[in-house]
Structure 1
Amino acid sequence: MKTVLKIIGIIVLLIVAYAIVAMLAFGKIYHYEKSMVINAPKEKVWQQISSMKAFNQWNPWMKLDKNMKITYTGNSGEVGDKYCWDSKNDDAGAGCQEIKELVLNEKQKTEMIFTRPFAGQATSEIVLTSEGNSTKVTWTMDTEQETWMKIMRPMMDYQMGKSYEEGLSNLKTLVEK
């Protein structure tokens, strides 16, 4: 019995130590990025990132709830192009994403406002770079994290990696048809 209590004590101590180190070591800004090379010119890839409707054709989070309510506002393919989602599923939650900057065949920058399950704000960029006849697509996200959320950073990296990989693979499949 003493051995079991010692093991439990050590585990609790390690968890507390990790939490303290994570809160002190990780910065307030969370940055994630993933890149993939797509066998198509930038102009063809651009067609799939330059509007919110096009983005949602390969957006990995759209599959979280097939009954998700989506509303689009603004002019498609222009700054101010926006969609809002509302799902009963907390994995998808609710919020809005709006295009804040477009540089033709180069970059799309958006702002995301999350309202459920947690309130938050983030920015995202999709940057296109020519690589011969192909295009390197770099997708980023930046957000400010509360101190307690820093503890979750390794799990966030894992989840973001899976989602971004899926989204970029969806984009690649769509563009390379």
Structure 2
Amino acid sequence: MKLIKRVLLTLVVVIAALVAVSYLLPGQAVVSRSITVNAPADAVFPHVNSMQATEAWSPWLSRDPETKLTYSGPETGLGNTLSWASDHPQVGAGTQEIVESVENQLVRTELDFGPMGTATATFDLQTEGAGTTVTWGFRSELGMNPISRWMGLMMDDWVGGDYETGLANLKKLVEMK
């Protein structure tokens, strides 16, 4: 009986420590990747300023070709919205809407993953000589949920590779034209 009490007490102490430490972890999950495209910003911008255009270079749609996509709002720019649904766990379901669009410079979107939370994604375009450096960023507020804060530590590992793949796809697509 003493052994069971000790094991339970140790378990409670470990869980309490993990919860306490979680409040010292970052309150945001941040992912950012960049690539230089050998083309001017006005050649890159249309591919990030339209949810429909992202189909051609998205790193996630190849995981589940059966993903259901629905678009609403204008075809480009502010208000352009994508809703997607997939049974594949690495694709999931959600919506993404363009909430800011500065021609040839910036596109900011708001993502809603339903119960999994919300996030902001950005495409920042910087002219570099004859090319354009495209930085794809992601930021999500984790709140006070201890599990979310621990998961936030892994977000770069989970999403960073996909961002690199997507940017490589974008580069190839733009440079082919």
Q: Which moved more, 1:22-31 or 1:81-90?
A: 22-31
The equivalent of 1:3 in structure 2 is none
The one-letter code sitting in structure 2 at the alignment partner of 1:125 is T
Give the aligned partner of residue 106 of structure 1. Answer: 105
Provide closer, same or farther for how the CA distance between residues 84 and 20 of structure 1 changes in structure 2, counting only shifts above 3 A: same
2:105 and 2:131 map into 1 onto residues whose CA distance is 13
Which has the larger displacement, 93-102 or 83-92? Answer: 83-92
Deviation at 1:125, TM superposition (A): 0.6
Q: SS at the partner of 2:48? A: coil
Larger mean CA deviation between 126-135 and 30-39 belongs to 30-39
Secondary structure in structure 2 of the residue aligned to 1:80: coil
Gaps spanning 5+ residues in structure 2: where?
Answer: 1-10
Instruction: Select 2:135's aligned residue among 131, 134, 138.
Output: 138
Alignment counterpart, residue 123 of structure 2, candidates 119, 122, 126 = 126
Q: Is the Cα–Cα contact under 8 Å of residues 22 and 151 in structure 1 kept in the other structure?
A: no
Over 3 Å counting, the alpha-carbon distance change for 1:22 and 1:158 in structure 2 is farther
Could you state the TM-score of these two structures normalised by the residue count of structure 1?
Answer: 0.84
**Aligned partners of 2:106 and 2:161: how far apart in 1?**
22
CA contact under 8 A between 2:31 and 2:155: conserved in structure 1?
no
Aligned to 1:151: 150
Q: In the TM superposition, what is the alpha-carbon distance from 1:91 to its structure 2 partner?
A: 2.0
Gap change, CA 1:60 and 1:165, over 3 Å in 2 = same
Do the aligned partners of residues 119 and 154 (structure 1) sit closer, same or farther apart at CA in structure 2, a change above 3 Å counting? closer
How many residue pairs were aligned? 162
Q: Distance in 2 between matches of 1:17 and 1:56?
A: 44
The alignment's C-alpha RMSD in Å is 2.0
Provide the rounded CA distance (Å) in 1 between the counterparts of 2:50 and 2:157: 27
Q: Which moved more, 1:86-95 or 1:20-29?
A: 20-29
Q: Where do 1:17-36 residues align within 5 Å?
A: 19=18, 23-36=22-35
Q: What residue identity is the alignment partner of 1:92?
A: V
TM-score of the two chains, using structure 2 as the length reference: 0.84
Following the alignment from structure 1 to structure 2, what is the Cα–Cα distance between the partners of residues 135 and 17?
A: 48
Equivalent residues of 2:94, 2:113 under 8 A apart: yes
Distance in 2, Cα, partners of 1:126 & 1:107: 6
Structure 1 residue 20 displacement after superposition: 5.3
**Aligned-partner residue type, residue 56 of structure 1:** E
Distance 1:93 1:48 in 2: 23
